[in-house]
Amino acid sequence: MPVVNYISWVTLAFMITSSVASLRAAPSMAVYGLAAVFLYLLPAIVFLLPTSLVSAELASGWNGGVYKWVSEGISAPMGFLAVWCQFAMTIFYYPSLLAYVASTLAYVFDPSLASNGLWTAAVIMVCFWSGVFVSSQGTKSVAGLSSLGLIIGTLLPGVILVVLGTVFLGQGNEPAAPMDSDHLLPAWAGLASLVLIVNNFLSYSGMEMNAVHVSSLRKPGREFPRSMFLAVALVLLIFILPALAISWVVPASEISLTSGVMQAFDAVFGQFGLTWMTPLLGIMLVIASLGGMLTWLAGPSKGLLLVSRKYGYLPLGLQKLNKHGVQQNLLVIQGLITTVIALLYAFIPDVSSAYWILSVITTQVYLVVYLLMFIAAMRLRRIRPDHPRGFRAPALHLLCVVGLLASVAAMLIGFVPSSQFGGGSTLQYVLIVGGGLVVVGLLIPWLFYRFRKPSWKSADPELTEAIE
């Protein structure tokens, strides 16, 4: 029998939080002042809450993550589709995250490097391949480093922002943004406001992803819901409080959405003569981003591997495990794709616009996971009502319906062109996004399913058990 490297439920909560929460969006939300609370709480109620409660019930009854839930609730092919979409989303997530790391590091060493494609490409490749190496050492290594990244690079900087903001108000200064009841809701700007609210749904995506590690808990049925609830609380605090703190100190007209969180920290520190701390905070933010990358590396590819070993959906070469029971070949394939995208940053000046469209496509693909998960949860409650569950979500069907409607709304909004599209026609944009969704989210997994071979199924149950 394989040796299980157990982790605590608090560590798993930190992994979940690390994969979702970030300070990157704080400056852009600070522009809305007190209304930022509404812009985060509404999506939390209609998307974060259903996702968290539903995945807590599913994980407490079925090990293995979203692929297991959808396989049991709908069918094995749909389980493969769900985990494929979860995996495919990450392919373009990593370069985006690491490009942010590159710009943050540039701010620390030399701000002019932020627009240097070679610098961006080099940082992406070095960081990603380092992450592949760490992930190949097993779940316990990932858990420790991602938790450390969350504490050092997200929680601590967030606390510093909130403390300084509170001190600023305590000194008798008026908040830069109005904090009265007239500003609880954002100004309505039609479709643009709807896009803003729905886009915040996706700020919470990934809460279910680390359920694949539920078997690393000693008492999964009791401990995973605890992990999820602690993660929900931490995510909300990390998103809301730092954004408010920035809005207290920095006027909205002075918040740079392009320079982002580093400029916001610099402005806050400037109020207290602490600008020397800005580079230090930049390094801490980088640590947080790398910790978040590790949790995404460890989750979706592990889920894809398990379902492929059981049902033979991937060639044997992609199913190979290293001595730590980690899907190293899948990680290497991801690394090669990430390297190609990194090189595009280096040699194609206007790659950002095209890359942004690819990011929209992968977001659409990821929403397929949530549609399948909510449908599977409702069916499992109906067809397997007596199956042991360590946690039962209250009003499960209502939660699933709300989650389904929120996911559909987010998917529809994804077809609305953004200003980043560069003025192209709406029809062209819809065709590109829709075509990408069909190819990446449906055609490629269908081809794997269509041409699968019986010989691709794992003949060694212990190896399959090692990654459950």
- Taking alpha carbons only, the member of 74, 27, 63, 89 closest to residue 334 is 89
Ranges 235-244, 353-362, 381-390: which has the least confidence: 353-362
**Three-class SS of residue 210?**
helix
- Taking alpha carbons only, the member of 287, 239, 245, 241 closest to residue 269 is 245
Identify the residue with better confidence: 93 or 3: 93
What pLDDT was estimated at residue 268?
84
302 has a pLDDT exceeding 90: no
What pLDDT was estimated at residue 462?
46
Tokens of 57: 């019930």
What pLDDT was estimated at residue 72?
92
Tokens of 423: 């003025």
163 has a pLDDT exceeding 90: yes
Angstrom distance (rounded) from CA 155 to CA 168: 20
Tokens of 436: 């990408």
Q: What is the mean pLDDT of the chain?
A: 80
Identify the residue with better confidence: 113 or 46: 46
Task: Tell me if 7 sits within 8 A of 217, measured CB to CB.
Answer: yes
Average pLDDT over residues 136-146: 63
Q: What is the DSSP letter of 416?
A: S
CA torsion, ordered 450, 454, 458, 461, to nearest 10 deg = 120
What pLDDT was estimated at residue 142?
62
What pLDDT was estimated at residue 463?
45
Contacts of 416 (CB under 8 A, 6+ apart): 191, 195
Average pLDDT over residues 204-229: 77
pLDDT bucket at 74, cuts 50 / 70 / 90: very high
Angstrom distance (rounded) from CA 311 to CA 88: 19
Contacts of 61 (CB under 8 A, 6+ apart): 221, 380, 387, 388, 389, 390
161 has a pLDDT exceeding 70: yes
Amino acid found at 194: L
**Whole-number CA gyration radius for the chain:** 22
What pLDDT was estimated at residue 401?
97
Average pLDDT over residues 40-69: 87
Angstrom distance (rounded) from CA 96 to CA 98: 6
Average pLDDT over residues 25-36: 85
- Taking alpha carbons only, the member of 138, 14, 89 closest to residue 437 is 89
Average pLDDT over residues 237-258: 83
2 has a pLDDT exceeding 50: no
Angstrom distance (rounded) from CA 30 to CA 244: 6
418 has a pLDDT exceeding 70: no
Average pLDDT over residues 319-339: 75
466 has a pLDDT exceeding 60: no
Highest mean pLDDT out of 135-144, 231-240, 300-309, 412-421 = 231-240
Ranges 196-205, 391-400, 431-440: which has the least confidence: 196-205
Other CB atoms within 10 Å distance of the CB of residue 427: 9
Average pLDDT over residues 274-298: 81
- Taking alpha carbons only, the member of 306, 228, 160 closest to residue 15 is 228
pLDDT bucket at 5, cuts 50 / 70 / 90: low
What pLDDT was estimated at residue 236?
92
